[in-house]
C-alpha cells in the first residue's frame, strides 16, 4: 500500500467516525421524546380536562424534538458523503 491509499483509508475512517459521533444528537432526541411523552401522559392522568390545551403544545414539542434528530442525521450524512 502506498501513501495515497493509506491517506484515503484514513479519510474514510475519520468520516465514518465523525458521522457516528454526529448521530449522538439523534440518541438525545430519542431520549428527550420519551421523557416528553411520558410527562405528557402523566399530566393527562392527573388532569384529563386539560387535554385540548396540552395537545397543541405536545405537537409543537414533538416537531422541535424531531427537527433536532433530522438535523443530526443531515449533519452525519453530509459528513459521510462530502
What CA–CA distances, in Å, run from 29 to 20, 64, 73?
15, 9, 11
Q: What share of the chain is helix, strand, coil (3-state, %, to 5)?
A: 95, 0, 5
- 2-31 confidence digits (pLDDT tens): 999 999 999 999 999 999 999 998 999 999
Per-residue model confidence as pLDDT tens digits over 26-39: 999 999 999 999 99
Domains in the chain, please, with CATH? 3-81 (1.20.20.10)
- What is the distance between the alpha carbons of residues 18 and 6, in angstroms, rounded to a whole number? 18
Confidence class for position 59, pLDDT limits 50, 70, 90: very high
pTM: 0.79
pLDDT band for 60, please (50, 70, 90 cuts). Answer: very high
Amino acid at each position: 500500500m502506498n501513501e495515497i491509499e493509506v491517506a484515503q483509508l484514513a479519510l474514510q475512517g475519520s468520516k465514518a467516525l465523525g458521522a457516528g459521533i454526529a448521530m449522538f444528537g439523534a440518541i438525545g432526541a430519542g431520549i428527550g421524546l420519551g421523557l416528553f411523552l411520558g410527562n405528557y401522559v402523566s399530566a393527562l392522568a392527573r388532569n384529563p380536562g386539560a387535554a385540548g390545551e396540552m395537545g397543541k403544545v405536545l405537537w409543537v414539542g414533538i416537531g422541535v424534538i424531531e427537527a433536532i434528530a433530522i438535523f443530526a442525521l443531515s449533519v452525519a450524512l453530509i459528513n459521510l458523503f462530502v
